[in-house]
Structure 1
């Protein structure tokens, strides 16, 4: 009787498959090493998983999938109270026309509001849209843990005054652009006081046309320069305390005016 041939269970492996298998093994080892080096915060992972299961539901189970006890947790997002201007960043996404700008570094945050949103041309009176915008950002400003500087800026006087511009306005003393920027900053300052902001948390300054954000070469640049900046400087709290300790006490006069180094401010008249 002829001997039956023994079946060959596997044929000879092609050389390319050996190389491919080695590469796959090395890649698997590499990714396992990466996972082993990653540090996972178990508490955060459980909270996130509990939120997902608690929101969408998975029968009567919790994130402990082998438990029948209802221990689901739904983590609701709460208000972000960082004490600075960071919560205002989402407003930038909603203003496609660049009416708001936000810039920041380690110490300073600047929210720039275009003056055309807040005021009519050549005016220092807040428009309804300007009041609505300030009311919208007021809750964040009220939670600020550092004093805020409200800084007014203008563009060239001919742009600001329009048809009201007259030859010689640029030579007037005090400079009209400085006065306009100060009155605009003062309007925002008063609105924030009415919203409940403590007076000692606010500073006021007018720069006129002398600190432009962009060269005054075209209408768009000049529009960018017409602005009110709300500046939060995390270094200003300590500096403010030092200034208050060194500054002499100043008391308003009986007629409601305030004398600061020869500059008379009338606290009773709108616009200063």
Structure 2
């Protein structure tokens, strides 16, 4: 009598299924290791511990504690973002033929639009001059489509304000607020994206006592800040909560 061949179960052998699962888990493990290559040591150890538990590997002996690092380096993120934003705005300035009295600079790890105070205000005055309206409209055109907040900073020189009721500090604050009000009144920038602060003569660009240096210190700066959760990714941006309120 001829032997009938033994009937085999359809599909892959049982050992192949187990082997495939193991290979998939190993691949996932190494992908996670690669993706976490730039994480700090604390988070990396926590993730590695979770993976060891998932694979059923129990750690033996004493657990090594890792202290939280005191300094976290964010320079690559800062430099990359600042450079890209600076180049984008520089290109916009060239395309829109923005007033040349608007100076684009990288300062304090952020991108800043800097305008001479004499362009925006008459001497000793705190209300924006009508002649400055087109310049402020140019500033708004540069930032209106960017997902960033705008902080307006007023600065003065250290010349005493003789004969005026306002101090240099008062003037710097009033000018920043006046500029903010213009943007809001003309619907150029949403109010919830703006803030204003004055520094008086406390942050000079030049320390010389000649007129050219003093004129350089009299300025209004438009500092671009991150919105919402982006602050954690861009920690170099200035914290408005630490500034002097107006």
Q: 1:104 corresponds to which residue?
A: 106
Displacement of 1:151: 0.3
Moved more, 142-151 or 219-228: 142-151
Do structure 1's residue 214 and structure 2's residue 195 form an aligned pair?
no
CA gap 1:191/1:94 in 2 versus in 1, 3 angstroms: closer
Matched pairs, number: 151
Please give the alpha-carbon distance, in whole angstroms, between the structure 2 residues aligned to 1:212 and 1:194: 30
Unaligned runs of 5+ in 1: 1-81, 241-246, 248-260, 266-272
2:140 paired residue number: 138
Residue 216 of structure 1, CA deviation: 3.8
How far apart, in 1, do the equivalents of 2:155 and 2:113 lie?
Answer: 13
Q: Any runs of at least 4 consecutive aligned residues in structure 1 with deviations exceeding 2 A, and if so which?
A: 82-95, 104-107, 233-240
**Rg bigger for which structure?**
1
Q: Does 1:198 align with 2:200?
A: no
Query: Secondary structure, in 3 states, of the residue corresponding to 1:132?
Result: helix
Tell me what 1:188 maps to: 179
TM-score, structure 2 normalization: 0.52
1:85 CA displacement: 3.8
Assess, with a 3 A threshold, how the Cα gap between structure 1 residues 94 and 100 changes in structure 2: closer, same or farther.
closer
Q: Structure 2 vs 1, CA of residues 154 and 185 (structure 1 numbering), >3 Å: closer, same or farther? A: same
Q: TM-score, normalised by structure 1?
A: 0.47
Unpaired segments ≥5 residues, structure 2: 1-84, 233-240
* Structure 1 equivalent of residue 129 of structure 2: 127
User: Relative contact order (C-alpha < 8 Å, sep 6+): which is higher?
Assistant: 2
What's 2:158 paired with?
A: 156
106 and 142 in structure 1: CA distance in 2 versus 1, 3 angstrom threshold: same
